[in-house]
Structure formats: structure tokens, C-alpha cells
Amino acid sequence: MNTINNFDSMNLHAEKIELIKLVLQTEKESVLKKLKQVLVDDVNENQHELTLLQKTELDRRLRRMENDETEFYTWEDLEQKLK
């Protein structure tokens, strides 16, 4: 299994190098702008994804809330508790 993962990462690395070579060869500004937008969109999309741990924690909290196992406080309640 480790060999397969290593092979995949090697292929990914080779693909990145090939893409860099192609970018360096192009003289078309429009192509570079499109490529940049694709990459920026990908980065932005990935920044909003939750990890499995985060999803699990949110699911746990939602279950607690649905089962009335969570206490909620108003702002006024919190102010009173802090006095």
C-alpha cells in the first residue's frame, strides 16, 4: 500500500513539474489568467472544507442540542453570571 501512495505522489509531483514547464512556455496572458483563476478557486474551495474531526464534533453538538442536553443562555443571563 505504501508503494502505491508513493507512486501516486510521484505522479502528482511529475504532473506539477510538467504544468510549470507549460506555464513557462506560454506567452498568452489570457491562458495565464484562466489558469490562475482555476488555482485560486481551488484554494478558496478547499479552505472552507471541514476536517473529519470538525464534522464529528459538530455532529456531536447537534445531537446534544436535539436531545436537549445543551444549555443556552441569553446575553443578559451571561452578564448576571459574570457579576
Quick: pLDDT tens for 13-24. 899 999 999 999
Quote the CA–CA distance of 73 and 83 in Å, as a whole number: 15
Quote the CA–CA distance of 21 and 9 in Å, as a whole number: 18
Quick: pLDDT tens for 67-80. 999 888 999 999 99
- Percentage with pLDDT > 90 across the chain: 63
Quote the CA–CA distance of 83 and 76 in Å, as a whole number: 11
C-alpha cell at 31: 491562458
DSSP 8-state class, residue 70: S
Q: What residue ranges do the domains of the chain occupy? A: 2-82
Quick: pLDDT tens for 30-60. 999 999 999 998 888 777 778 899 999 999 9
